[in-house]
Amino acid sequence: MSSGATEVVRLLTVRGETLAVAESLTGGLVAAEVTAVPGASQAFRGSVTAYATELKHRLLGVDATLLAERGAVDPQVAAEMAAGVRRALGADWGIATTGVAGPEPQDGKPVGTVFVAVAGPSAADSEAPGGATGGEKVTALRLNGDRAEIRMESVRSVLALLLEGLASEQTGNERAQDTERNGGF
């Protein structure tokens, strides 16, 4: 298990929030990394491994026209996967991976082309005054290495993107709790 996964589970648990994962090229590795963390059941709702393109539409609600026109390796597809799994599994946060791990190009995209996405609570979802503004964020990656290296870097990258979203959403009170717990001031 990675320190990224450990921190994701810790922050989600402290916040009382949940996570759902949509995976394509990572084939379940993100879910495995998160569930390797003791206590993950406090925050992890589940995952959908939509490896086949039509499952991205059928299970995650990715627009069929988008998939037909651009293929599965696309930033908007990643964003719709993250939002779709968040909705489908009733989670506060959804993350997604889609891309080409190789050995051959896919949908005209070279090996190493990866998109990772996060969909979080928006101001409209939040009951807190001022509301959270997680929204959606997609990062495009151009990764080098073999198939295994590309897949593992995709896992690390999507967890890092989620950590960025979680960190930007922390309230002052949560920061104070974290500081106190870690012996700081």
Least confident range from 29-38, 39-48, 96-105, 161-170: namely 161-170
pLDDT at 135 over 90: no
Residue 123 — very low, low, confident or very high, per pLDDT cuts 50/70/90? Answer: very low
pTM of the model: 0.86
Q: Could you report how far apart the first and last alpha carbons of the chain are, in Å?
A: 29
Dihedral in degrees, nearest 10, Cα atoms 70, 73, 77, 79: -140
Residue 111 — very low, low, confident or very high, per pLDDT cuts 50/70/90? Answer: very high
Contact 21, 96 (CB under 8 A): yes
Alpha helices (H) along the chain? 3-15, 29-35, 53-60, 64-70, 75-89, 147-169, 172-181
Residue whose token pair is 């949908």: 107
What per-residue confidence (pLDDT) applies to 134? 55
Contact 153, 143 (CB under 8 A): yes
Q: Is the dihedral of CA 78, 27, 60, 42 positive or negative?
A: negative
Over range 113-138, report the average pLDDT.
70
What per-residue confidence (pLDDT) applies to 157? 98
Q: Is the dihedral of CA 184, 127, 5, 160 positive or negative?
A: negative
pLDDT at 170 over 70: no
Structural element, H or E, at residue 47: strand 44-49
CA 99/CA 110 separation, integer angstroms: 9
pLDDT digits 0-9 by tens, 71-107: 999 999 999 999 999 999 999 999 999 999 999 999 8
CA 66/CA 63 separation, integer angstroms: 5
What proportion of the chain, given as a percentage, has pLDDT over 70?
84
Mean pLDDT of the chain: 89
